[in-house]
Structure formats: structure tokens, C-alpha cells
Amino acid sequence: MGTDLNFGRSLGDDNVYVDANSFNNSYRAQTQLTVFDGARSINNIRMQRVNRLTGAHQLNQRRDEVAYSTMEAFFNVLYYREMVVLADSQLEESRLNLRQTERMEELGIKGFPDVAEMRAQEAQNAYNLTRQQNQLTIGVILLKEQMNFPIDETLDIAPWDFDTEVAKTPLTAAGIYEGAQGWLPAALAAESSTRASELALKVARGGRWPTISLGAGWSTGFFRNMDSSAYDVFADQFRNKRGYYVGASLNIPIFNGFSTSAGIARSRHTLTMARIERDAALRALYTEIEQAVADMNGSADQHAQALRQREFTSMAHDVNQRKYDEGLVSALELHTSSNRLVQARADELYSRLTWVLKKRMVDYFTGIPFIQNPQPETQPEN
């Protein structure tokens, strides 16, 4: 819609300039439809859909990374909590041995050096308990940070079943990799990014094709001489001046400063880089899967050795405890034996928790998500 008010002099009917004031009002409605543009519009829509899906895959990948970090922090808390239990048990054992040694000193069976060694062991174990408690406190703080848990509230952690059977996985990295490519967010994001670059190249190539458009419109208007006493009816002019038109246009890109060729070259280069990055991402994915399988199987072997070490170390410590009671070994030898037993128990605990963590990683690669209720994703149109 347009409106004009004209003031001043203009050439009249007798070729004489006269004062003329007028009012002109015009109305127009039109539309245009692109019939053919080298499929640029269609490919651009597809590219935007793929870009949106790529963003969703990248978000899922980041979500899984945060979930794994949170799970790792949780297992650290479990480890520190059990280490506090072990440290407290060792401290209690050292206190019992100290009281026993002091009693044996009174009876003349043990001397002051043995009592001093037992007191040193008790002090060392008390220090170790405090250190483990501090590590547990820090571990809980880090877990709260990963969970976005209120830092001033108490985080209760349920008891964990440590009796899970530890075993190797029968799956191979190659077999897991074949299935993981179809659902893993990292692989899907790499494929989607490459697909978007392919569509961007098609859009750029479409710039070499002509554009055919169809158009249609409607127009009318109203005019009034402000110096005339005659009254012009708006409705009559609005109706009588109505007009319609249809048309077609053809735009052929003959020369545009080589911008189309430059755009195609850039898109081709971007596609090459996207394919290289996709292949690198898939190779990195295979390496992660292979490492996860190796870590899980290695943790199973380590746990078997740690379990065997703990059993024999426990037997040896029981023998040393009886020998100490009979005066056959020194307090230092008993102290060393106790430390070996605690270390063996810690190694067993660490290897078991490591196996559980690595098994959870292998399960993730086989299709079991860290978060059990993932949002369904829609596939882009081709």
C-alpha cells in the first residue's frame, strides 16, 4: 500500500502551469513462487535438518561424557569409603596389639622397643584413617559437583554389592564396533556432519542452474484532486481500478564474478575435511572400544591375581600374628605383615571396582546407555 500527497504547480489542460494539489492512494498484493532453482531450496532445507540432528547427536555425546564422569566419581567414592573401613579395621587391630604388647611387657615377655613399635604403628594407622576420611570427603564433594547436587546437603550413597562375579568379556572389539556405528552419538554426529557438507556442496552447485519463477498480483488505487469541488467516491475508484497480472521470470547466471565457482570450491574443500574428520572419529571410536575391551579383560586378570594375593597374605598375617603372640617374631615384622594385608585388600577392592567401571564402558559400546531413558531421535529426510 502507498499514499502520496502532491503540492505545487503542474501543467494543466491548456498547457498553462496552475496550482494543483492531489491525493493518491495505491494498493497492491503479489506473490512469487520459485518453480526451479537447481534444487537449492530443497537441499538447503535438508541441510538444516541434518545440522539440527547433528547438534542433537553432539548433545547426546556430551550427555554421555558427563554421565561417565559422574559414574567414575561415584566409584571413587565407593573406593574411598571401603578404604576408610579398611583403615579403621587396621587401627583397631593395632590398638589391640598395643594393649597386648603392653601387657606382655608387664609380664616380662616383651620389651620396651616392641611397645614403642606398636605405638608408632597405632599412630601411623590413625594418621592413615584420617587421610582416607579426608579423601572420602573430597570424593563426595567432587561427586556432588558432577551431579549438580546442593553442596550444603547430605548425599546418601546406597550400599554396593561387591560380590559381583568378575569375568572377561567374550565380545571382540570388531564385533562391538560394527554395531556401535549405528547408534553411538559420536559416530552419528560424524556421519551427520559429513551429510550436511554433502548437501552444502549440492546447494553451491545449484547456483549454476537458472532460476524459473512464477508470479501473480492484484492492484487498485484511488486519486483525488484536492482543488476540485467534485467529490470522488473511494469505493467506486477502488472497484473500477482493480487489476490483475500473472507472469514468469527466468534468471540465468551468466557472470557473477566467479562467486558461484568459489562457493563450490569452498564447499568441496569443506566436504573433504568433513570426511577426513569422520574417518578420524571412527578410528578413534574403534580405538576406544578396543581399549575398553582390553581394560575389562585386564582388570579381570588383575582381580584374579589380587584375590589370590589377598588370600595368601591373609594366611601369612594370621601366622605372623600367632608367632608374635608366642614371641617368635618382632613387632616390626608384624607391622610389615599388617601393612601387606591392608595393601592386598586395597588392591583387590581397586581391581574389582576398576573391572565394574570398565565393564560398564563395554556395555555402553554394546548399546546399553549410561542413562537408561534416552530421548528418541528422528532421522533426517533424504
For each successive 10 residues of the chain (382 residues), what is the average pLDDT?
68 62 81 85 92 93 92 93 92 86 77 84 91 94 90 83 84 92 91 93 88 90 68 75 87 78 90 94 94 94 92 89 79 83 91 92 90 53 46
Radius of gyration of the chain (CA): 41
Cα distance between residue 136 and residue 132, in whole Å: 6
Strand order in the sheet with 2-6: 2-6, 22-36, 211-225, 243-251
Query: In terms of pTM, does the model score above 0.85?
Result: no
* Kind of pairing between the strands at 9-11 and 2-6: unpaired
pLDDT at 26: 86
Task: Report how far apart, in Å, the C-alpha atoms of 38 and of each of 212, 213, 263, 264 are.
Answer: 10, 12, 15, 14
User: Looking at the chain, which runs of residues are DSSP E strands?
Assistant: 2-6, 9-11, 17-19, 22-36, 211-225, 243-251
pLDDT at 151: 81
142-152 b/e (C-beta count within 10 Å ≥ 16 → b): bbbebeeeeee
| Start-to-end Cα distance in the chain | 41
pLDDT at 189: 93
Cα distance between residue 128 and residue 203, in whole Å: 67
Domain layout of the chain by residue ranges:
40-211+258-365
Residue 181: exposure state from Cβ atoms within 10 A (0-12, 13-18, ≥19): middle
Q: Please, are residues 114 and 330 in contact by the beta-carbon 8 Å criterion?
A: yes
Cα distance between residue 213 and residue 70, in whole Å: 56
Cα distance between residue 251 and residue 228, in whole Å: 47
User: Cα 271 to the chain's mean position, in Å?
Assistant: 24
Domain 40-211+258-365 has what CATH class?
A: mainly alpha
Cα distance between residue 50 and residue 289, in whole Å: 26
Q: Please, are residues 355 and 307 in contact by the beta-carbon 8 Å criterion?
A: no
Long-range pairs, 238-247, Cβ under 8 A, ≥24: 238/27, 242/218, 243/218, 243/219, 244/216, 244/217, 244/218, 245/216, 245/217, 245/219, 246/214, 246/215, 246/216, 247/214, 247/215, 247/216
pLDDT at 3: 74
pLDDT at 17: 63
Q: How many residues belong to the chain?
A: 382
Q: Which amino acid makes up residue 267? A: S
Q: CA 278, 279, 281, 282: dihedral to nearest 10 degrees?
A: 120
Cα distance between residue 230 and residue 315, in whole Å: 122
